Structure 1
Amino acid sequence: MGAAADFAARVRNREQVLGYWVVLNAPPATERIAGAGYDYVVLDAQHGLLGYTGLLHGLLAVDAAAATATAPHRPVGIVRVESGEPATIGHALDAGAGGVIVPLVSSPAEAAAVVAATRYPPAGVRSFGPMRSGLRIGPEPATSNDSVVVLAMIETAAGLAEVDAIAATPGLDGLYIGPNDLRLALGAPTPDDPAYDDALAEALAAVRGACDAAGIAAGIFTPSGEVAAQRLREGFTFVTVALDLVHLEQTVRAHLDVARGALGP
């Protein structure tokens, strides 16, 4: 079984998997991150600083790390696409993504359209032109259909209201929470307003419960290993630690603070 198919099976079995979030177009760094032991690496095509060439090179970097890794930690490249448009999803999959995380899914109809965009006919509407993906996922349509993971992001008030019906969408592998946007959707003036902690906790529980009922993966973005561990204990199964740009800045500042401690007054 290839890495993508193996990863898809783990996600569909609701095994807990850990990933990392990348926004920088820095393939050597992405390769090192992917080789650290994560199960997947998300390349952010919605808000990341990648571009399509950077996305392609990032997927190549993840695969380079996977070539020397052993199961079950052969990392798979996942793309958070810009939108649920079929062309956008197909573009990411053609570049070799093992799956997609699709933002702003707010209804069962939108979720069904997202699933269809990841599947070749007659199961879906994906145009056949596998390009690089044909080297590692497929190229037979049925093999690709079985190996590609698709998660819908719940980050709007409408999506939260319809979460049970969205989770029940045939072919959907999981729901993925964007906590910042979801907090804003709940009425918070900022993505980190603590006054909305309880409301967000209720929303997270509702999404997790919908995933449990549907038997699909419950995914969430987290800012740190500590928060990721908390979400795993809560029952989330697809947890991402984020992100390269922020962690780079945090590490740089931490080293600077230590070094400055040796300076005289």
Structure 2
Amino acid sequence: MTSKDFADRLRSRQTTLGYWVMMNAPAATERIALTGYDYVVLDGQHGLIDQRGLLDGLMAIDAAGNGTAGLVRVEANNATPIGRALDAGAAGVIVPLIDTAEDALRAVQAARYPPSGIRSYGPARSGLRIGPVPAEADAATVVLAMIETRQALENVAGICATPGLDGIYVGPSDLRLGIGGKYPGDPDVAETFDAAIELIARTAAAAGVAAGIHTNSGTEAAQRLAGGYTFATVSSDLDHLQAAAAAHLVAARG
């Protein structure tokens, strides 16, 4: 699957599944990509990955050779980190803290070459895979806006209607805090949170854009896909490493 194939699948709201990487461990990232996820996200915001780590991680995903798309959650809605992630070879970016349609448009423009956007021409590594023609690069690059605040929830219809935006991506931990939760898993706001999750999925469907969400497990990912989301990301390498090590320790101690 090429970057353009992935972009087409996501834009047409076909089901896709991904995995989240927080560690700067390219050999591990390559193995994760080999498992067959449709995409792997490198977390450049909260992950333990610098710019060189993003480059190495994207190369590791490509090295798997099975068409898994490499995405980057950039550190901020700013043209510099967005452009650097794409130049390093990302097939798309997940942009955090999008609160308004104006924020979403700024993210889209940062990821698109003129005349559609303001991305500086310097494809570096991405040009080796996608090609140096700006229009072709734009067609093969996805831009996803994170919905993770109360303001974003209030403006989700306008965000979804942003020209050039390929989809939205729910950050459930921050969203739960945004609607009044005392901590990410706070059950006191579960009903409000569930209503928000359903509203976001419906709004994206009405706008015809992809709707994605981060989940804690494959089971939860399946539930979200059944509930109207078109793509879902499963947990993270750091969480699974700790969980697997703990489980083996329990087994070894009997």
1:152 aligns with 2:176: no
- 2:77 maps to which of 72, 79, 84: 84
In 1, the alpha carbon distance for the partners of 2:121 and 2:203 equals 33
In 1, the alpha carbon distance for the partners of 2:226 and 2:201 equals 12
2:53 is matched with which residue? 54
Structure 1 residue matching 2:125: 3-state secondary structure: helix
In 1, the alpha carbon distance for the partners of 2:227 and 2:202 equals 11
In 1, the alpha carbon distance for the partners of 2:240 and 2:68 equals 20
Contact 2:202 2:228 in 1 (8 A): no
In 2, the alpha carbon distance for the partners of 1:56 and 1:223 equals 26
TM-score if structure 1 supplies the norm length?
0.95
- 1:204 maps to which of 184, 190, 197: 197
In 1, the alpha carbon distance for the partners of 2:239 and 2:49 equals 16
1:232 is matched with which residue? 225
Q: How does 1:103-122 map to 2 (within 5 A)?
A: 103-122=96-115
In 2, the alpha carbon distance for the partners of 1:223 and 1:209 equals 22
1:25 aligns with 2:24: yes
Contact 2:22 2:48 in 1 (8 A): yes
Amino acid at match of 2:45: Q
How far off its partner does 1:196 sit?
1.0
TM-score if structure 2 supplies the norm length?
0.99
- Identical aligned residues as a percent: 56
How far off its partner does 1:209 sit?
1.0
In 2, the alpha carbon distance for the partners of 1:245 and 1:90 equals 26
1:128 aligns with 2:97: no
1:4 aligns with 2:23: no
Contact 2:20 2:234 in 1 (8 A): yes
Q: How many residues align?
A: 254
1:186 aligns with 2:179: yes
Structure 2 residue matching 1:131: 3-state secondary structure: coil
Amino acid at match of 1:230: Q
In 2, the alpha carbon distance for the partners of 1:205 and 1:223 equals 18
Farther-moved stretch of structure 1 (14-23 vs 204-213): 204-213
How far off its partner does 1:6 sit?
0.3
In 2, the alpha carbon distance for the partners of 1:43 and 1:151 equals 14
RMSD of the alignment, in Å?
A: 0.7
Amino acid at match of 1:247: H
In 2, the alpha carbon distance for the partners of 1:198 and 1:139 equals 48
Q: How does 1:55-74 map to 2 (within 5 A)?
A: 55-65=54-64, 67=65, 69=66, 74=67
Contact 2:168 2:210 in 1 (8 A): yes
In 2, the alpha carbon distance for the partners of 1:105 and 1:260 equals 47
Amino acid at match of 1:210: T
1:101 aligns with 2:94: yes
Structure 2 residue matching 1:196: 3-state secondary structure: helix
In 2, the alpha carbon distance for the partners of 1:139 and 1:23 equals 30
Amino acid at match of 2:176: R
User: What residue ranges of structure 2 are gaps of 5+ in the alignment?
Assistant: none
How far off its partner does 1:138 sit?
2.2
Amino acid at match of 1:164: A
1:142 aligns with 2:142: no
In 1, the alpha carbon distance for the partners of 2:151 and 2:228 equals 24
